[in-house]
Structure formats: C-alpha cells, structure tokens
Structure 1
Amino acid sequence: MSSNKELQQRWLSKKGDVLLLLYDRWDDFGYKTRFPTLCRVNGEEVELGAIRILFDQQHASHTFLANLREQDWDGTFPIDDVNYISVPEEITFYEHLRDLLEPQDALDIARALRDASHLVFSLEDERAIQLVDTEGFRTSLQRERSSQNSFADGWRKLGGQELGVSDLQFTFRDTFDDLSELALKFVSRSPLPHDINVIIGPNGVGKSSALRQMIRAWIQPKPDHPELEGAHFDPRPNLSQLVAVSYSPFERFPVDTDDEPTLEKALKDKGIYRFFGFRGRHLSQNTRRPTSIRNSLAVPRTNACLSLIQCLVDDRRYSTIKAWANKLRTLEKVLSSAIDFDTAAVKLQQDAELGEIIGDDPFDEAQVFKLNTIGADGEEQLERYVAISPGDDVINIAALQKHADLEGGVAFFRDGNRVELSSGQRLFCYIVVNVLGVMRRNSLVVVDEPELFLHPTLEIQFVSMLKQLLRTYGSKALVATHSVVTVREVPSRCVHVFENTDDGLRITNPPFETFGGDVQRISSYVFGDRAVSKPHEAWLKDLLRQHGTANAVIEELDEDLNEEIIIQLNAMERGKW
C-alpha cells in the first residue's frame, strides 16, 4: 500500500514481482475504497486497473490502512486478524495475472487480497459472506457494472473457466403501456450460432423503445427506480458493458452515462455504456474534454478515430493475455470483406511533430502517408496520416492521442494511395472500428436498424462481422431490424417477432427454422405481406383480364418474364393467388 512517489519508488526498486496499491479519493456514497494499482511482473510493468477493498466497519479504507502502518504493519497483504474483501474493477485483473504467473500464484494473490468472488463462491468463507451483506459492499464495491461482473464471475476466471453471456430476461413498458417480457436466447446446445438475437416487426410496434428502456435499465444501478417504469432485467445480466449502435436520424438513446438523468451520482466506470451514432459529445481538439452533445457527421468520424487508437492501446495492454485477440489484426480481417486496403491510418493535426509520435529514425517515416490537398482557404496544404498496424511498437500513443486530428476520422490506404469509400462502406467502417475499439469480454452489443445505410451485400457482411467479433470476445448482440436478410442468418429461437394485436403486444418466435430460410416465407410471417396488395401483382392481374389467359400474357411479355412471374400468372388464372 503506497500513498506517495518516494514510497512507490522504494517498493519498485526492490527485486522481483510487486503489486502496489495507490491512493484514490474517489467517494462512493460515503465509502472510499478504491485503489489504483502498479504492477511489475518479470521486470515488465503491467496495467491491471483498480481494485476496491472494503474493511469491516470502515468507510475509508486508505485511512484505515494508514493507521495500521502507524501501528507497525509492514504494508504487505494478507493482513492478519482483519476482516476485509476486495473486488477488481475489471475481470481481466486476474486473467492478466493467470497468464503472467502460474495459476496458483494468481490464486494466492486473490486470497491475499481476499477476493470476494473467490471467497464467497469457491470457499464459502463466512466472514466474507458477512461483508458482502453490508451497505459498503452494495454501494461501493458493487456500484459499477464491471465490478458486479468481476464479483459474479471472477471465481470462474480464477478457476480457469471460460466465461460467456447467459440468456437474458428483460421486462419493458410496451406501446400499450403494459409490461411485456423479452427472453433473449444466447445459450444453446445446438450447433447453430446463437450469438445474435433479432427483434423484428412492422413500424410502430416499439422495437426501438424496448432497446432504449434496456439501455436505461442497464445504466441505472437501482432497478426499482420509478423513472424506469417497471423496466428491469431479471436476474441482473452477467455483462461487463452495453454498446449501442444507431445511425438513425430519429434515435434518442443516451450518448453516455452522464446523459442518464436518473443517476444520483456519476459512475466511475464510464465504459459500462458506450453509444455510437450521429449524436455525441463535442471533443475539444486541444483539451480533448467532452462538452455539449451535438448531432453532426463529425461525431462518427471522431469516434472512429478514437476507437482505432483504442485498438492499439488494448493490443499493447492485453498482449500478455493469451486468449485476448489482437484487435488490429481482427480489424483488418473483418474490414477486408468490404474494403480493399493495406492499412488503416489516423490523420495528424497540422502542427504535430512527427518525431514526438514515431521517433526520429527516418525508417519509421514509412509509417506516414502524405497527401497534398486544398484547404478551406483555397491554399494547398500537406495532410499527414500515421498508419495504425498490428504489432506496432513504435508509436508513442500518448503523443498520438494528443496530436491526432479527431474529426479527420479513419483513412484507408492501398499501395500508398488513399482509398475512397462509399457511404455504405463508411458506415460499415464506423460500426466495425467503434465496436471493436470498445469491446470488452462479456459485452452486449445493441444495434438499431443497421440496414438504414447498408445495401443487402453489406448487410450480410455486417452480420458476418458481428458474429466474428462476438465469438472472439465472448460477447452477444441484439439487433432491431426490418431486414429479413438479417433474420435469415439467425436461428428461429433467437428471432423475436413484435406484433400489435387487439390483446396488446405479442412477441413470438417463427414456427419454422429461419436460419438459411426462404426470404419470402420469413417476410410473409413477419410482415403478413401476402395480405398486402403489391403494385406488380395488380399490373399482372390487369394484363390477365386484357389477354384472357396466362399463356397469352406470357407470350406477350416473352423475354421480359422471370420464373416467379410465370408461376404467379398461372396461379392467378386458377384463382390460387
């Protein structure tokens, strides 16, 4: 335990592995339990994140430990004759240690820090169970979603088990002002992919509203908050974060946790909810501080730039975790299905010093693309882009974050030339880069109407991309759509059809297998379009009345016919259509 730099350096100067707990004044409703950490393993510094420690009948954990130091405690854990429990802010805390050390060594550290998940679920430690049933545990150690996930599943990770998102049960207020239940199916013994669930139905049945309520219920730490109007998960899902994506001009999802008015106090872990669309907080180019919320084409460009840099950050941070996939390599693999490119890059501000970002070695300038363009003032100017590539260990990330032109977005280069993207490719890029940049283990990705700017081929590639990302990071997705192309990629038990009836909202699964199914059959079941008069059918019926027989119409149209119309004409003649 350390509270000043001199003491930190004294501990870090010692040989061997060390884990230091640092001081933090963060206050959780009167409890101060948070400790950022410094960790060194095999001579390398490792970023583990923070941990919260609660001592029996204590509100300020750091003050309590400082008093113990004055009573000759040497500052090492475990602390004899003291009852305490801890919960790391991220479940990767011990996953890191398990990959860097022997599994037993990581378990010994968890026991020294009296990890609540291990003590309660694996050892059934009575003293730990008593502390779990306290106000301090509920309001501080379990205030953040990621900490809840660490407590719920940390014991499994310490035991070497693989984790995954369970089935989810969500109750929401429907368009009839009644409470309806949505049962999401992610777990199955079937070989068919269950990573994605789909909500589909006509306009006006409340698909987007259900998603919006789900987001608010996830952000809000008190499930019985009156403004949630009964919307809740049962039980609380084992998620680490919820990522929402909507590029509809009419969406009204919260842009971040600070945009949720029902929260009584700001959350420390802002990453438990992330939103990507055309709305977002404006970021100052100089301070990088978020300000007011705006609706702008610059928002998705800024988000994509930040997310691409975050992929580089995560690749370096989690490089020691064997099971954690390389995000930049995944990015290249996924985007190559829609874009022909060699590398993705970030635009630099005009006054950025290259040496500060990539060093002074001229060889490193191969990482830089230079383009002559005409500026807003009509003058010629030089644009510079830094390539963000898998395995890169040259870029100074802090300098790149400082000097990146955020509103320049992400650029793609092929053979040294910039690749121009269509609007659909650009949106596809935004979704992939943003989701991958923020992706954690056990995430739920909520996507509203992805087909708005994607043609059918990109829709299929979008679903394929989503499946790959979810599988790689042990996460799941919920997609609200009108697209039967998307439904065809999902098993029927994962398809939830919303329908307004005289008795209220009805949610059903198709009675036939939708995975790889017939698009017309899916469309007819979901939208009832056989009962809707189609313009081309009315035109065919007029021709049939004019010519008398189906054969006469077929002879008249000749080469302008396809097989489906021939079948329809013959069926119409027999009164079967």
Structure 2
Amino acid sequence: MDIFIRNRRVSVSLPDATYPCLVLQRDGWNDFAYYTLFQAQLRLASGFGPDNVKELGDVRIMKLDQGEGIENRPFQGLESGDRIEPNLLRDVCSLGGPKYYEALLEVGVSLAQGVLSTLRDSSFLPAVRERFQSSQCFKISLLRDSEARVLLDTAGAQFGGGSSLVSSFSAAIRLDGASAAHEFSFDFDSLQGVPRRMHSIVGLNGVGKTQVMARLAILLSRFSKQAIKENRSALQSGDSISPVPSIYSVVAVSFSAFDEFEQPTQLQGEKFQYSYCGLQRPRGRLKSKSDLLNEMRAILADDLPQEKRELLKRVLRNLVRVDDLDAFVDKPESNAKMYERLSAGQRLAVNCIFHIISRIRPRSLILFDEPELHLHPQLLTGLLQALNEVLADQDSFSIVATHSPLVIQQLPKECVHVIRRDRMTPMVVKPTFQTFGESVSEITRFVFASPDGDRDYRTILERMFNEAGGDTEFVRSRFDGQLSLNADMYLQSLLAAKNLQR
C-alpha cells in the first residue's frame, strides 16, 4: 500500500493507480520533545466524498532510536505530496488512538490489516513491539497515557494479530548518594502453578526501600508533581523501566506517617490512573480514626459495583468478625456501631482493602509500603490473604516493601528482592533458599543480616555456652528444658564445633 506525506492545509493530488492508499498529515504536537503524531487518511478512490475518503484519526509513528526534536520526526526530509519509499518504512513503528482502530474496523479486516502492516503497527505485529518497546521514544510518546498501554495489548487482536501481555519487567532506580542504581527484575507470571502475583522488597532500615517504592510508583503511573511542574515526562529521569509492562493503573498504599508516595488530586488520579491510600493528608496532617471510617462509608456510598461488593464481603472475612457481613457492607450508616467496634489495626486494614477494591481494575499494580505497621501478626497474615484474593480476582499484582519475615514466609524466593548496601554501593539479591513456608528465624537471619554481625538469640546462646564451659545441658536448664527446635539445634552445632577442635 502506497503512503503519501502532506503538511497541514495543503492538498495533494494522487495518481489514480495508487488507490487504496494512505495519506499522513504532519502534526506539530510533541510528547515531551518527541515528534511522532500524524493524522491518517485512507483514500479508497479518486475524489473527496465519504465513500472515497476515510478519516482514520491520530496515529503516532516513530523511527528506530528516534531522538528528541522536530528534526528527528519520521519522513522529515520529504516534501508535501511525496510518496514515502518502502525503505523508509522498514525501521518505523506505529500505534493509533481509540478512534483510529474503530475507523479501521469499519473498512473491513482485510484492508485494515494492510494498513496496520504497512505502518508496522506495534499492537498488530509482535516482532515490531519487541524491537521498539525499550526505546525511550516508544515509552514516552507512543505509550504516553494508560489508554495507549491498553491499546498496545488489545487493539491488534481485533484484526487477527496481537501479542501476549507483558507481566515481567526490569527497573533501575538510582537513589541520591548511591554509586549505582538498584536493579530489580519483576516477573508476575506463575511458575509451574506457584503464584507470583505478589513480590516483596526487604532489607534493613536505611537501605532505601521507601524511596524505591515511591520511584516505582512514578515509573509505573507516570505521575510526578516535579515532572508536571517542569513540563517533562516522569520517564525523563535517571530511573528506567523496560519494557513497559501491561499494567494500566497503580494504587499506592502505606500505613506509615512518613511514606514518600506522591498524592494526586482527583483530576490527576483520573488522568494517570493512580491513587493513594495512606495516613497522610495532602498538607501533611495525619488522618484520624473518624477520617478512616468516613472514607470507608464514602466508598460504599459511591455506587460501588455489585461484583466488587461481593468481592469485598469475601475478603473481609480474613480481617473482621461481625455477625452480619452483608449489613456491614451494604448498610454502613445503619450499622455504625459495628464500625466503631473495630480496633485501630482493623480500621487501617479494612480501610486499605476498601480503597484497593474501589480503585482496582484488571492489570493494576498495588504498591504497599510496610503493611505490618500497627498490625498484629494474625491480622497481617489475614490482610495478605485478602490482598492475594483481590489480586487473583482482578488479574492484578502487588509489590510489598516490608520488615516482616511473616510477609516473606508467604512468598516463593523468586518473588523476594533483598536490598543491601555496602557503604554507598547498592545490591539487590535473591534468597539462596526457598522462603515459602520457611521458619521465621531463617528468613530473619538471611534477609535482615547486618554487616556488623547477627544480634539475635544465637549470640546469647553462644555466650551462655562459653560461660558454661560447653555444657549444653546446663544451658538448657536455664530455660527449664524448653528451648525451641531452632535454638536447640544451634546449641548442638556449637557443641559439635567445639568437639571438632579437640
């Protein structure tokens, strides 16, 4: 199929033998200095009647490794009316808007396939997507908004093409003062039936977990107040993500009074498909107990779809015990005492589940910073179970930053990312053993090991063992003969080591 280029307000005459053909009109719009926008017109026959011309609408077209600036726009060297030679199309990639694909459906699948193939549509041709998806121009311009990310995954399938959803990606995040970036690889696809929808970031205080979570929120939602102020993309920074995963919305959750998540306005949240649930108010004040209750009531009063109400009832069984769960969800104003009887921890846990369910959509990412704060262990595991049920129901994912070995105990080792730092050199490592179901003591020893040495029960046992001259029975008697299995095994290892030295 032939393609012709034209400038705005300039008509072009075409040879009769070229029909059907495409005419691309240049547009002066840019996406943060990347010029990719064109208006596409399908010419079916000579003349300008509705049967001869089909307006396809906006389509973004980029060159391989395209840089910023209008001088780098595709086909920039051609004059208005010129035919685009096939060799200029070999290294381009395109992605349209919603109206573009709707218009192509109206002209018939066969003709639409010709258009998509000629313009090397990234939603229709998997090999093209694979080749271009790590380019900055592709990520910043072609995938500027969440709607484009959905179209990349879904539009091509309407015409017999398309590729698999992207559920794995890498992120490089360089914190202030660090000599290198933290490098993460997240893969949310199940492995031999083992679910991997939830990942965790763990480590000692001061290694940067909270900052990493805040940066991930920016990379995946594109919402950054500083970027908006500077009129740039949130991806135009020292951090990077590749490829752009099939994630269409982000929910940031924190129980900390010191989290670093950005807080959008309602309009910003709708534009970026990003929401915040936490204790902080926009101006720094903390929410009260009544604020949390009012937020829950507001969510239930805001026409929450019936299917989400049923999901909410199912998962709340992990968090609260009330006589009438239907009334708890369906009639909050008539059952105020049930809400008042919730403990402080329950109010936090229930509030965050209410918020997540109200905002989640398929292919969402929940970024949860330190869920263990203010929760006793049983409520924490109940919250994790509730979150896992929501993720499975909504085909969504979560990254949890935590200090709790109870969280790690619920996850396979592939989903655990341990942050360590040697002075200012950051490291991200994986456990060397299977964390799922492992003892809390072993998880704590590996994940939260300090470079200054362990300061746990083993240090105390070793001191007592040495003071007793290696008499293990004497040490056991100090604990009334009730040492745990882990402690007793460590005591035996001290004795075995001493015997080998003889």
Contact 1:544 1:553 in 2 (8 A): no
Corresponding position of 1:230:
238
In the aligned structure 2, how far is the partner of 1:190 from the partner of 1:127? 36
**Which letter does structure 1 place at the counterpart of 2:104?**
R
Contact 1:280 1:299 in 2 (8 A): no
The reply on whether 1:145 has 2:135 as its aligned counterpart is no
In the aligned structure 1, how far is the partner of 2:403 from the partner of 2:156? 41
Which of 279, 294, 298 does residue 306 from structure 1 map onto? 298
Which of 538, 543, 546 does residue 460 from structure 2 map onto? 538
The reply on whether 1:465 has 2:382 as its aligned counterpart is no
Structure 2 residue matching 1:471: 3-state secondary structure: helix
Alignment of 1:98-117 (within 5 A): 113-114=103-104
**Which letter does structure 2 place at the counterpart of 1:215?**
A
Corresponding position of 2:115:
125
Alignment of 1:357-396 (within 5 A): 385-386=333-334
Structure 1 residue matching 2:391: 3-state secondary structure: helix
Alignment of 1:237-256 (within 5 A): 237-256=245-264
Which of 185, 188, 191 does residue 186 from structure 1 map onto? 188
Distance 1:164 1:335, change over 3 A: farther
Structure 1 residue matching 2:420: 3-state secondary structure: strand
Structure 1 residue matching 2:348: 3-state secondary structure: helix
In the aligned structure 1, how far is the partner of 2:100 from the partner of 2:235? 39
CA RMSD of aligned residues (A): 4.5
Corresponding position of 1:328:
309
Structure 1 residue matching 2:421: 3-state secondary structure: strand
Contact 1:144 1:267 in 2 (8 A): no
Distance 1:123 1:423, change over 3 A: same
Distance 1:158 1:454, change over 3 A: farther
**Which letter does structure 1 place at the counterpart of 2:308?**
K
The reply on whether 1:434 has 2:355 as its aligned counterpart is yes
In the aligned structure 1, how far is the partner of 2:121 from the partner of 2:40? 7
Contact 1:345 1:412 in 2 (8 A): no
Which of 386, 395, 405 does residue 474 from structure 1 map onto? 395
In the aligned structure 1, how far is the partner of 2:213 from the partner of 2:478? 51
Corresponding position of 1:62:
none
In the aligned structure 2, how far is the partner of 1:224 from the partner of 1:30? 11
Corresponding position of 2:286:
295
Corresponding position of 1:197:
199
Contact 1:256 1:270 in 2 (8 A): no
| Residue deviations 1:16-35 (CA, integer Å, cap 9, x gap) | xxxxxxxxxxxx9799xxxx
Per the TM alignment, residue 430 of structure 1 is displaced from its structure 2 partner at its CA by 1.1
Per the TM alignment, residue 343 of structure 1 is displaced from its structure 2 partner at its CA by 3.3
Contact 1:277 1:300 in 2 (8 A): no
In the aligned structure 2, how far is the partner of 1:447 from the partner of 1:114? 41
Contact 1:247 1:450 in 2 (8 A): yes
Contact 1:198 1:480 in 2 (8 A): yes
Structure 1 residue matching 2:362: 3-state secondary structure: coil
Corresponding position of 2:222:
220
Structure 1 residue matching 2:442: 3-state secondary structure: helix
Contact 1:54 1:141 in 2 (8 A): no
Listed as ranges, the gaps of 5+ residues in structure 2 are 1-27, 32-36, 42-47, 60-98, 124-137
Corresponding position of 1:169:
170
Contact 2:219 2:234 in 1 (8 A): no
Corresponding position of 2:376:
455
Distance 1:257 1:235, change over 3 A: farther
| Residue deviations 1:206-237 (CA, integer Å, cap 9, x gap) | 11111111222234378975895311221222
Per the TM alignment, residue 188 of structure 1 is displaced from its structure 2 partner at its CA by 3.8
In the aligned structure 2, how far is the partner of 1:571 from the partner of 1:332? 49
**Which letter does structure 2 place at the counterpart of 1:186?**
F
Corresponding position of 2:277:
276
Corresponding position of 1:49:
none
| Residue deviations 1:139-173 (CA, integer Å, cap 9, x gap) | 99964323432343244488799985511211211
Distance 1:151 1:80, change over 3 A: farther
Contact 1:85 1:131 in 2 (8 A): no
Contact 1:216 1:228 in 2 (8 A): no
In the aligned structure 2, how far is the partner of 1:157 from the partner of 1:131? 13
**Which letter does structure 2 place at the counterpart of 1:473?**
Q
In the aligned structure 1, how far is the partner of 2:153 from the partner of 2:56? 18
Distance 1:228 1:544, change over 3 A: same
Corresponding position of 1:554:
476
Per the TM alignment, residue 295 of structure 1 is displaced from its structure 2 partner at its CA by 3.0
Distance 1:280 1:237, change over 3 A: farther
TM, length-normalised to structure 2: 0.66
Distance 1:279 1:120, change over 3 A: farther
In the aligned structure 2, how far is the partner of 1:232 from the partner of 1:115? 35
Structure 2 residue matching 1:251: 3-state secondary structure: coil
Listed as ranges, the gaps of 5+ residues in structure 1 are 1-27, 32-52, 58-70, 74-78, 88-108, 259-265, 282-291, 316-325, 348-366, 370-384, 388-410
In the aligned structure 2, how far is the partner of 1:120 from the partner of 1:183? 40
Contact 1:496 1:508 in 2 (8 A): yes
TM, length-normalised to structure 1: 0.58
| Residue deviations 1:484-529 (CA, integer Å, cap 9, x gap) | 1111111111111111125811111112221222322222111226
Distance 1:504 1:270, change over 3 A: same
Per the TM alignment, residue 302 of structure 1 is displaced from its structure 2 partner at its CA by 4.1
